[in-house]
Amino acid sequence: MKDVLIITGSYPPDICGVGDHTFNLMGTCAAQSWEMYYRKNWNIYTLFRHIRDIYSTGANFIIMQYGTRGYGWSIVPHLLCIYYSWFTRKRFGVILHELSQLSLKAYIAELLILISANKIMFTTQYERNFAIKRIPFIKSRSTVIKILSNIKASETICPIEKRNIDVAYFGQIMPLKGIEIFIRDTALLSSNIKIVIAGQVPPMFVDFYNKIVNLCVQTNIQIITNLNQAEVSELLNNTKIVYLPFPDGVSERRGSLLASIENGAVVLTTFGKFTTKEIERATINVYENKIKDILNNKTLLEEKQKAAKIFFDTQMPHDWDEIAKSYQNFITK
């Protein structure tokens, strides 16, 4: 019998960052005694089946990943949280990966989780503060457990001057990620430097991907999809600048930021209300610097590369095993 159960609606090969997060957790030593509950059908009519199946595991501590792309717009995860938190002796915790940026509909639904969950784990302090400001009583039963990138670091970090890709975008190729801004800001440079867009394409965004391909053809930007983890690490370790123009600003929960930093690429990005002072010191603000000037400033690139390493060493968990232990300690105490 395994005492900790982790619930997820997505898991590799599904294209979902939270699914990848679950995969990394389940591969740790700390999670060897965990059991994973992964289902694809979250239709409202499956509620009692989920309750029965979760009971059958015998787990006393349940951790639900929320939200995953696999849940869709289902309310079943919220109802499971209410049922197990309020009507059973089991301890039910939720890892909330997003709150402040949700649509009104999604936010209202997520309130059900906030008011009912026995334990709530946020991935940034900003998200926890946002929730506590609105529902003060969750302060005593919530915490912050930061995430790491789903991409591993290269064994040897390549010096800036030996990297062959000048500017790259890395992340899921989908709307609201700033990809069109990336193309706009780099298009005029593409005849003189090497520019790459690399990432996965969620199935529901194929039309958007086709639009991006057409833009890349017009602007001489190379686009690469569906690289495995080792290939992504190699690409980032061969890139001088990773430009991530997030519409809402960069934050610690951006896996593409963390993957880039771990592989020694200097991150050029947008600052916003989620951006900590530590991230500001480790990255370059696109609103204050021009890409061409940065590429010609080796000293700045090397300084930011060093600052980013300090940020990662001092502000982030050391490994996924530390994260898994933090989840387990918080849900069981």
Same domain, 134 and 91: yes
Residue with token string 């990620």: 177
Q: Provide the pLDDT for residue 190.
A: 77
Phi first, then psi, for residue 246 (nearest 5°) are: -60, 130
Sheet of 239-244: strand order equals 222-225, 195-199, 165-170, 239-244, 266-269, 284-285
Together in a domain, 174 and 135: no
List, for residues 302-320, the tens digit of each pLDDT value.
999 999 999 999 999 999 9
Parent domain of 165: 160-315
Between CA 37 and CA 17 the distance in angstroms is 17
Assess whether pLDDT exceeds 50 at residue 298. yes
Does residue 153 belong to any structural domain of this protein?
A: no
As beta bridge partners, residue 290 has none
CA distance 241 to 284: 10
Cα 205 from chain centroid (whole Å) = 18
Same domain, yes or no: 310 and 164: yes
The pLDDT tens digits of the residues spanning 107-135 come to 999 999 999 999 999 999 999 999 999 99
Residues 12 and 136 in one domain: yes
Q: Assign residue 242 the CATH number of its domain.
A: 3.40.50.2000
Residues 217, 87 within the same domain? no
Structural domain count of the chain: 2
Specify the pTM.
Answer: 0.90
Residue 260: name the closest of 274, 243, 245 by CA: 243
Compute CA distances 62 → 6, 20, 37, 102, whole Å: 6, 19, 10, 24
Q: Tell the residue number behind the tokens 């500017």, with chain if given.
A: 167
Please write the tens of the pLDDT for every residue from 136-151.
999 999 999 999 998 9
pLDDT digits (tens, 9 = 90+) for 175-215: 989 999 999 999 888 778 999 999 999 999 999 999 999 99
- At 166 the pLDDT is 97
Query: pLDDT tens for residues 79-115?
Result: 999 999 999 999 999 999 989 888 888 899 999 999 9
Q: What is the mean pLDDT of the chain?
A: 94
In a domain, 154, yes or no: no
* Whether pLDDT at 286 is above 50: yes
Please compute the mean of the pLDDT values over residues 147-175 and round it to a whole number.
93
Average pLDDT, integer, range 293-301: 95
Q: Are residues 109 and 196 in the same domain?
A: no
Q: What region, left, alpha or beta, does residue 58 occupy, with left being phi > 0 and alpha being psi -120 to 50 degrees? A: left
What pLDDT sits at residue 188?
A: 86
Q: What pLDDT is attached to residue 1?
A: 45
Total residues found in the chain within this entry = 333
pLDDT of residue 287: 87
Residue 33 is assigned to a structural domain of this protein: yes
Tell whether 220 is covered by a domain: yes
Are both 131 and 256 inside the same structural domain? no
